Structures are given as structure tokens and as C-alpha cells.
Amino acid sequence: MTFRPLAPRVRTALPALVLAVACQTLSCQSSSQPQSAPPPAYPAYYPPGANGQYPPGQYPQQQYPQGQYPQQPYPQQPYPQPPPYPQPQQPNPSYPPPQAPPAAPPPVTLPSVPLPSVANDPINDANLGWLRQQAQSILNELVAALPDASRARVQGIPLVVDDTPGDVNAFAACSDGHSLMAITDGLLQITAGLAQASASDEVFGGTKTDEYIHFIATHLEQGKPIPRPAGFLSAAVQTDGRKVQRQHVWFEEEVAFILGHELGHHYLGHLPCTGQPGWFGGANLLRSLSQNVAVFNQPNELAADTVGTTNVLDTGARRSVHWTEQGALLTMRFFQGLEGAGLNLLVAFQRSHPSPRFRIPTIQSDAAVWRSTGRGIPVLPIG
């Protein structure tokens, strides 16, 4: 029997015939026809009921197809561990300082009976010779109260006063490799004015402190003497013994914080001349140095605020009338008032120190820690 090969047309049609029979048996659909989606198992949206709540039981749980989402195992090899984070040795300026409970200083007890009036008081008179001498005396007390290691770094450091009219500043500096402290007559005069106004508010009530800050903010001019408001306090208030007594404490606390802060820059090693005190004089030298003081470094500034506050409180604890942080906060209140005056008034002190809004919480927290533990927040020197 002889087999004849299929004609070419039959050979071509045979696979299609077989496929059609198979699909008919298996209920296949032609791939050329679009597949319609199966009807949903649940409505896409259920309207809420009359009370705004959806009917219970009408939230179908969608089940993912089994076996279609392969779980990729995570690699078993250990991941590299980062090096341990170094503990900061100074307050971190990126975050607010630790907010300790605001332990308020002890309330001031004023004499129950008036004290004799004081006709001639150096703070009332803004006596520059006395203000300078008192600042040096306060600096000596601050140095004496420091721990031994810090005191050894700044023992004998000089305080130089700059008499440039209208200049309001204080800073730590180096000259020829020697360390010094500097404060201007202008800042001493403003400190005396703030002390008078605050003591008046404390004894007699009123808003003299705010009035004085506003007066300075609107009348201070570079290169001109510090303005003094005429008739600011009545003669009876100006010479009142209780007010005079309190303004001396305010003045001491203000100057102690200003100098304690600058002193901290030296014994914390923020300047290259730390430990090399020397004696200097002359306003020309100070003017030259003040123009070359670096723009403030915020970590160092906040560290100096921390140790300065501790230094003030440690020193004040040795006195019959203890110092508190209120003088520091009064100083910050003054410079904050200059910022808010809207007059673009920026004195030298503000160019070399952070804004009071950063410094006030630091001072308050440091004082609260000191008051609750008997010691300040430790800050390690840089070098």
C-alpha cells in the first residue's frame, strides 16, 4: 500500500483543525477576543444609612490570590553597624536646651519700713569711674568662685573698658597671644539704667523697665553718648532707700552674667590665648579688637551662657544677698526689646552674640538645674 503525502493546503490546515477541536473540548476562547472582567463579588460603593453610618457586614475583605506574591527572603548577612555616636561635650544648638522645671528664684523680701533716702548714689548718677571699678570687683569675685582648673586658666585676666561713645558691647579677646576681657562704658551705663528702672518697678510697681528699653531703642545712635531720659523717675523714687538698695543688686547680677559669659569663653578654650592673661589699656586697642571679634559661634555661645549662669549663682551663694539669674534675664529682655523695636537697631553686642530668644531658655534651664541639684550643667573645655 502506497502512502501519498498530503497536499500542502491540507498540511497547513491540519494544526488549526486540531487546535479548534482542543479548544472546543476545553471551552477555550479565542485570544483574539478581549476577555471581559468577571463581575465584582461586591458593590464598589455602599451608600451610608440614614444615620450616616455604613450598614454592618458590607465591607468584604479582599483576599489576595494565593501563591502569586512570592515572599523574597531578606539577606541573612549582618548589616554594618554605624560607629557609636560621640557624646557632645557642649550644649547642642540645633535643639532647644533641656527644659528643666522652671524653679523660680526665691522671692525678694523688701524692707517693711522705708529706708533712709540716698541723695548721691553712683548708679543714679551713672558715675563711670565707679561703674568701671565695680565691674572689675565683680570679675574678681567670679574668678575666685571658679573650680580650680578653670580658675587657673583665667587668674589675673584683665578687664579693659572701651569708652567709645554709643558703643554697647562686651567680649573676650586675644592680643599678642594674651587674653583679656572687654566691656564698654555704653553697656555699663545701660546696665545702670536698667537696674534703676527694675528696682523702681519692684518697689513701687509700674512699667518703667519697658519704658526705659523703648526709650533706648528709639534714641540710641552710633557714635553718640548713651541717652538718658529726663525726669524719668521722680526725686522721691530716685532717692528712695529701698529702690537704691535693690538697684545695686540688679546691677551686680547683670554685670556678673555679662562678664561670667565672656570669662567662660576663656576657660572653655574658645580662644587660642587661654591661660595667657596680660595687662592692656587704651580704648584704641579695644576698638581695634572689637572690630575683629569673630561672628558668634552658637555652640560656644550657649556653652558660655551655661557656665556663666553657673558662675553667677556659685559666686552669689557666697554673698549675704545671693545673686540669681534675674539680672541675666533682664539683660536678655533689653536686647530682645531692641530686636523688636522695628528700627533695625543692631548694636555690636548683638552682632557677636545669639538672639535672646535662644539664650533665655538656656539661662532658665541652667539656673533650674543649679537650684535643684546644687551644681551647674557640666561643660567640658575644648582644649
Query: Given this model, what pLDDT does residue 299 score?
Result: 85
C-alpha cell at 374: 546644687
d(CA 368, CA 363): 9
Query: Given this model, what pLDDT does residue 56 score?
Result: 52
Dihedral Cα 85, 86, 87, 88, nearest 10 deg: -120
Query: Given this model, what pLDDT does residue 229 score?
Result: 95
pTM over 0.95: no
Q: What is the DSSP string of 271-322?
A: STTTT-B-----HHHHHHHHTTPPPP-HHHHHHHHHHHHHHHHHHHTTSSS-
Domain ranges within the chain, ordered by starting residue: 128-373
Query: Given this model, what pLDDT does residue 289 score?
Result: 53
Query: Given this model, what pLDDT does residue 378 score?
Result: 92
User: What is residue 162's three-state secondary structure?
Assistant: strand
Query: Given this model, what pLDDT does residue 108 score?
Result: 83
Q: Which amino acid is at 22?
A: A
Compute φ and ψ for 162, nearest 5 degrees.
Answer: -100, 125
Compute φ and ψ for 220, nearest 5 degrees.
Answer: -70, 130
Closest-CA residue to 324 (of 217, 202, 200):
202
Query: Given this model, what pLDDT does residue 178 score?
Result: 81
C-alpha cell at 56: 454592618
Q: Classify residue 156 as left (phi > 0), alpha (psi -120 to 50) or beta.
A: left
Q: What is the pLDDT along the chain (383 residues), one digit of tens a residue?
A: 444 444 444 444 444 433 443 444 444 444 444 555 555 444 444 444 444 454 555 444 445 444 444 455 544 444 445 444 444 445 444 444 445 445 677 788 787 778 999 999 999 999 999 999 999 999 999 999 999 999 999 999 999 998 989 889 999 988 777 888 999 999 999 999 999 999 999 999 999 999 999 999 999 888 899 999 999 999 999 999 999 999 999 999 999 999 999 999 999 998 888 665 555 444 445 554 544 455 457 788 899 999 999 999 999 999 999 999 999 999 999 998 888 665 445 576 777 788 888 899 999 999 999 999 999 999 999 86
d(CA 169, CA 149): 28
